Amino acid sequence: METNQTERLDAYLAGELQESSVRLVESEIQGDPAILEEFVLQAQMDASLKELMSDEQSGQDFAHGVMAHLQTVEKRSLAKSVLSEILDEREAAKLLHQPKAFDWWVWTKTAAVAAVALAAVVWTLQSVKLGEEKVAPRPTFLARLTADENAQWGETSLKARHGGWLEAGRLDLKSGQAEVTFGSGARVLLEGPAVFDVEQSNRGFLKRGRLAAEVPEPASGFVVNTPLMNVVDLGTQFGLKVKNSGESEVHVIHGVVEVSRTRGRSIPLVLRKGLAVVADKRSQSRLRPVVYDGEHFALPTAEDLALAMAHHLHYGFDESGGTEIDDTGVGIDGGPFDVSLLSESEHASQISPKRTAGVKKGGLVFESGDRLEVKGPSLLAGGTQPWTVMFWMKVPPKAGKKEEREIMVWESEGQSWKMRWNNDSSAGAEGALRADYGKGYATGTTDLRDGRWHHAAVVFIGAEQGEKDGDSTVLSQDQDVENFSADVATHVRLYIDGKLEALSGRQSEVATSVVTKEPGDEQHTFALGGSGSFEGWLDEFYLFETATSPAVVLELYERGAPADRNGSDGQGLR
């Protein structure tokens, strides 16, 4: 590691760099594994020094300090359980070693705890912002029960709502198998008997039993805790089993995980493919190697993407020329929904967007006043049925402010859905993806105004009641209508570049059910470019009649990702 690079990392951690230098360092950290490793080591040391020099601070002040320090890394926050662990270790160290501020054993323990804290920086559903901005509440639904085989559940087990959606709570699997897909995209397969807590969109707790986890790159940082062990996944597959005594074993099937004890000698250990360790009840003992047995863990089944995409509308905008745009999707009633760049709108002032280079092939470029009105499927009638919208977009850097920045909008039966980038700081992070329904909204965190292509997905999980099938793990037995209301503040998920967004702002508005109509009874429309306020580029537009899984979002992101994510196509707005 070069000296100047080390100095830049030190200055970055100290908050001494200008904004342009901060972006450079973050780009280097993300793009170079060696720099990332050095950054982790320096962050651990930095946290340890602050810990040792903070004896006069209260535990709460110290917690806020660690939180603020780790927030210098984009899109990350600290798990509360780990903060508690840090404070416990800190107080223990102070009581045992008050005479020697720089005693070597205190240093070692503190460094280990700081390492655990850094390793436990997870994808969280609590968007923590520094300064005067508020901490957003977490979404109601954190995961989804996506498959089960001969599953028998305990009477007090967490019940899934229709569609398999799960709130935070405890799953008590008496026998059989059950697959849980988290909002981040991480998937775990539980083997009964097992007791497992769904805690956050990227974190769970295995009290006892067996599970196997598969974690795609966007969900890296997925955490599974046990009574005696913390397991932080770095994008891999692993098996975990916990005995009734709490003794815990982890087996790394592919990739890398970081493991540490939850109490006592909590020095983190990095494990790679083919390695396994156990944490026993002796809190001061080291993690002990055991014989690898990963091949005996049943892994989550691969999702059938073709089945997931059986019903969708799709505009690739890749036609060689002309005014006609083909819907290359399949399976939606009333389709295909082809459209023309020659305006058929009743509004004479409407101007259609123009063809241009897209994320890979062709795309559309919108200037102020441009909009493309599309005759769409009946699902646009609104109501509480689920749907998903995905597209690639690019917003010019330093994009100006207007009252509306709509990328897409549809209105029907007195209802209105809008997808936009946010320009209202009181509604969340400026420049972030935002979904509106009536006066309600959900706002993400990533500022999209950087002149780069970004893949965006808005998933509305809906509130269909469906038919009772006697399976309490699929349909909640509580039939109160309120339990099936669909609120934009809790029933919308936002993804940018394949990753689940923490919400920086939200406001409640419950979707209204509508009378189902037969296809063709009414013509439904939506408009790309919204009311004509969007300025930028669009490509690869998808509309699904289901709430797609994180795996589908990730797959379509990876399909369209340009070879050079930081490059420019050289196409300016007209």
Cα distance between residue 446 and residue 495, in whole Å: 10
Q: List, for residues 530-559, the tens digit of each pLDDT value.
A: 888 899 999 999 999 899 999 999 999 998
- The string of DSSP codes covering 443-485 is E-S----SSSEEEEEEEE---------S-TTTS-S---GGGG-
pTM value is: 0.71
Neighbouring CB atoms inside 10 A of 312's CB total: 23
All domains of the chain in start order, with CATH: 3-122 (no CATH), 143-296 (2.60.120.1440), 313-464+482-560 (2.60.120.200)
d(CA 89, CA 266) in angstroms, rounded, equals 10
pLDDT, position 50: 52
Phi/psi of residue 95, nearest 5 degrees? -70, -40
Report the interhelical angle of 104-119 vs 33-52 (nearest 10°): 130
Strand partners, 418: 409, 436
CB 570, CB 532: distance < 8 Å: no
CA torsion angle 302 445 19 114 (round to 10): -60
Around 370, how many Cα atoms within 13 Å sit in the side-chain half-sphere? 20
Angle, helix 80-96 to helix 59-70, in steps of 10 degrees: 130
What stretch of H or E contains 26?
A: helix 19-31
Residues with Cβ within 8 Å of 14's Cβ and at least 6 positions away in sequence, in order, are: none
User: Residue 528: how many CA atoms within 13 Å on its side-chain side?
Assistant: 33
Would you state the structure tokens that stand for residue 168, as one six-digit string? Answer: 């935070």
Residue 227 near residue 248, CB atoms below 8 Å: yes
| DSSP letter, residue 166 | E
Return d(Cα 263, Cα 347) in angstroms, integer: 67
Distance (Å, whole) CA 544 – CA 486: 18
pLDDT of res. 382: 67
Q: Which residue has the tokens 């990350």?
A: 76
Instruction: Give me 546's structure tokens.
Output: 């289901």
What token pair was written down for 77? 């926050």
* Cβ(444)–Cβ(501) below 8 Å: yes
Nearest of 488, 479, 435 to residue 457 by alpha carbon: 435
- CA angle in degrees (0–180, nearest 5) for 35-116-235: 60
| pLDDT reported for residue 44 | 60
Give the pLDDT of residue 137.
45
Q: Is 95 exposed, middle or buried (0-12, 13-18, 19+ CB in 10 A)?
A: exposed
Residue 334: alpha-carbon gap to chain centroid:
33
Predicted local distance difference test score (pLDDT) of residue 250: 97
Q: Which of 111, 44, 24, 126 has the alpha carbon at shortest distance from 79? A: 126
- Taking only the tens of pLDDT, the chain with its 574 residues reads 455 667 777 777 777 676 667 767 776 766 666 677 677 666 666 655 554 444 444 444 444 444 444 443 333 334 444 444 444 444 444 444 444 333 434 444 444 444 444 444 433 333 333 333 333 444 479 999 999 999 999 999 999 987 899 999 999 999 999 999 999 999 999 999 999 999 999 999 999 999 999 999 999 999 999 999 999 998 789 999 999 999 999 999 999 999 999 888 778 899 999 999 999 988 778 899 999 999 999 998 877 777 778 889 999 999 988 899 999 999 888 889 999 988 655 444 568 899 999 998 999 999 988 999 988 887 776 678 899 999 999 999 877 665 558 999 987 666 789 999 999 999 999 999 999 998 999 999 999 999 999 999 999 998 755 433 333 333 333 333 344 578 899 999 999 999 999 999 999 998 877 655 554 455 678 999 988 889 999 999 999 989 999 999 999 999 888 755 444 444 444 3
Query: What is the rounded distance in angstroms from the CA atom of residue 180 to the CA atom of residue 203?
Result: 12
pLDDT tens digits for 103-147?
A: 434 444 444 444 444 444 433 333 333 333 333 444 479 999 999
Phi, psi of 32 (to 5 degrees): -130, 110
Compute and round to an integer the Cα radius of gyration of the chain: 25
Tokens at 9, concatenated: 């990392």
* Phi, psi (rounded to 5 degrees) for 483: -70, -15
